[in-house]
Amino acid sequence: MAYLASDRARQRRADPRKILPECRSILVLCAPYDAPLNLDVLEPDPPFQSLHGKVAAYAWGEDYHEILAERLRVLSAYIEAKTGAPVLNRWYTDTGPVLERDLAQRAGLGWIGKNTCLIHPTKGSYFFLAEILLSLNLEPDRPFLDDRCGSCTRCLEACPTACILPDRTIDARRCISYLTIELKGAIPVELRPQIGAWVFGCDICQQVCPWNQRFAAAHGDPAFGPRLEVPRPDLIAELALSPEQFNRKFKGSPVKRAKRRGYLRNVAVALGNLGDETALPVLIQALGNEPEPLVRSHVAWALGRLGGEAAQRALQQAAQIEKDADVLSEIMSALDIARTAAGPPGD
């Protein structure tokens, strides 16, 4: 992601004193969220059993940025009150130029696994990280030096897009979390089938991790408990969300980060992957009436995946009136896919 690559951002990540010149210690904290232990996040490839999407567990509840920021503020005030003197501080939770996982490993909270997640030896990896930079000398904890992944490669083998590399890095361009959240444009066509039913984020590399299977708790901090209908959204209903309905449903939710056009783009891809013809009416409706070109283009792809006469008619009609060049290109490609799937006339 380009915003991480600037010289200023690199310098600030390399030396916290570029952020807080008076920094003497960094307090690293973690807050657990619900682990998807009872959700079948590894459903088989299409056809699936229902038209429900999947949302990464960290986004099931309230936005952790808001909740943890207030807690960090309160904790900073507590530290200052206990010392009886002013303590300069800065706090972050996935919001600033700090190497959170590296700091957490150095603070003794675990090791960085092959999937690049920080893994705690008795809690797994389903937790948020946060940091407070302090102008206060504290005795440091011992760093966690063990690598307990061993020869296990379950996360590499389970990743649908093969984005986890053998050198413990992630090719973000292929990561489902990146594709469904950070990527603002079209999802590469060759990766869409591998996204499955994920509409926001992905939990697969954590779900298959033996440390989570053994130690992760089903329920984390209640503040991050699931909202109704967020963990497994009804895709038919989601594709019909108006801007007002989307904003109302996801107010205060991490899902809002994808914005409506990104989220509905993901919903369209999921419906195409599910392969259920009951999605045809809502997809056809969206192709004709959805104002966002990004959504229409992925709806066209989904219709091509579903195929059949109704889908072909809708795509042909849309091709006659579509003004956006990118959408029109997707429509023509989808028509080719649908025709190929149908086979020669008379088959």
| Residues with a known catalytic role | 94
Strand duo 54-55 + 198-200: pairing:
parallel
In degrees rounded to 5, what are phi and psi of residue 73? -60, -45
The burial class, CB within 10 Å (0-12 / 13-18 / 19+), for 251 is exposed
Residues 6+ apart with CB under 8 A from 260: 241, 243, 246, 247, 292
Identify which of 318, 347, 321 has the alpha carbon closest to the alpha carbon of residue 335: 318
Q: How far apart are CA 347 and CA 223, in angstroms?
A: 57
327 by Cβ neighbours in 10 Å (0-12 / 13-18 / 19+) ranks as buried
- Cβ proximity of 119 and 209 under 8 Å: yes
Sign of CA dihedral 221, 168, 170, 2: positive
Crossing angle of helices 293-306/280-289, nearest 10°? 150
How far apart CA 126 and CA 214 sit, in angstroms, is 12
DSSP E strands, the chain: 25-32, 54-55, 89-92, 111-112, 118-119, 127-134, 198-200
Cα-to-chain-centroid distance, residue 122:
24
